Amino acid sequence: MSDVAVIGLGAMGTALAEAFLNKGHSVTVWNRSPAKAQVLAAKGAVVAASLEDAVRSSQLIMVCLLVYDTVHEALAAAQEALSGRTLVNLTNGTPEQARAMSDWAVGHGANYIDGGIMAVPPMIGGQHALILYSGSRQAFDTHAGQLDALGTSMYLGEDAGLAPLYDISLLAGMYGLFAGVLQALSLTGAVGIRAGEFMPLLMSWLNAMQGALPKWAERIDSDDHTSAVVSNLGMQADAYVNLIDASTAAGISTELVLPMQDLMRRGVAAGKANADLSSLVGLLQLSKQAT
Ligand code: NDP
């Protein structure tokens, strides 16, 4: 028996297996393309001949494949072996996929934990690698010591969908930031300003703007978007037009920034001109508006 089995040895799965090995855990690995297991075998991992052998090698089964469909496809061959074991699925997916996977695994007698990896492979094993978990509390408590080998573990609750919900929400914030940075560098780059020259100023500005976010949280939680507003939506919607016009004049695509303009206009039309930008959350929550 090994302490842990790692199924899927892409860039992330390999990093996970290495982190377990580095912390002194015995590890069995399996990958569809067997050649990827050789590096880990040289570091002491046992290479399972089949996915079912990998599942039977340990109480703790970590799966990290590309998408959920491949997890279903791959594990179908070993579903009988899952009973009594803990399946931790770190494949990126949606809350709905996680809940369905949880039902499937529990239906085969396994404990299920879903996970979201907030790190890139070189960070795995270090404290800055945040790994979000949700699902069976009992299984998480049992294996927390082993899971801590991967980074900083955060358990979110029994609903298996919570880890992917947090994961996707954090990624939404990240991609929003990246989209804005792409637009900024396109604008400055078009007139020959080097990205390296502009970036320190951009980073300093973004850091300063992050200071507004705790107030947003307060406004959203209290549903008060109008008291002590210093930069109201009406003013911002008017100024935003300049961002669109300047981009167009410079020959820069507005595909990343136009949706925000549409939303701001919708907010103004809905009577939120004197409210803070945080009030737009309500307009995005279409399902709440429908009820
Ligand atoms: P890779 O593309 O490097 O690896 C994909 C893995 O999935 C390989 O082991 C591949 O096997 C396996 N796979 C794909 N299709 C099948 C299939 N039909 N049957 C069996 N195995 C299959 O991806 P990563 O390792 O980078 O990512 C894995 C997961 O981790 C993804 O969900 C990703 O979103 C998530 N993640 C990745 C991060 C990153 O920075 N890399 C960051 C955070 C999360 P084979 O080798 O045979 O092709």
78 is in which domain, residue-wise? 4-165
Q: What is the pLDDT of residue 47?
A: 98
Of 104, 135, 165, the last residue of a domain is 165
Q: What is the pLDDT of residue 218?
A: 97
Q: What is the pLDDT of residue 291?
A: 62
- Residue 113 sits in the same domain as residue 180: no
- Residue 147 sits in the same domain as residue 201: no
**Per-residue pLDDT tens digits for 119-176:** 999 999 999 999 999 999 999 999 999 999 999 999 999 999 999 999 999 999 999 9
Q: What is the pLDDT of residue 287?
A: 83
Pocket of ligand 1 (CB under 6 A): 8-13, 31-33, 36, 64-66, 70, 73-74, 91-92, 117, 120-121
- Residue 141 sits in the same domain as residue 34: yes
Report the separation in Å between the CA atom of 75 and the middle of ligand 1, taken as the mean of its atom positions.
15
- Residue 142 sits in the same domain as residue 45: yes
Report the separation in Å between the CA atom of 239 and the middle of ligand 1, taken as the mean of its atom positions.
43
Q: What is the pLDDT of residue 172?
A: 97
Of 165, 187, 217, the last residue of a domain is 165
Q: What is the pLDDT of residue 188?
A: 98
- CATH number of the domain that residue 211 is part of: 1.10.1040.10
The token pair that represents 160 in the structure block: 């298996």
Q: What is the pLDDT of residue 220?
A: 97
Residues 6+ apart with CB under 8 A from 246: 187
d(CA 64, CA 157): 21
- Residue 132 sits in the same domain as residue 226: no
Q: Are strands 27-30 and 86-89 parallel, antiparallel or unpaired?
A: unpaired
Using 70 as the pLDDT threshold, list the residues of the chain that sit under it.
Answer: 290-291
User: b/e per residue, 150-175, with b = 16+ CB within 10 A?
Assistant: bbebebbeeebbbbbbbbeeeeeeee
Q: What is the pLDDT of residue 289?
A: 75
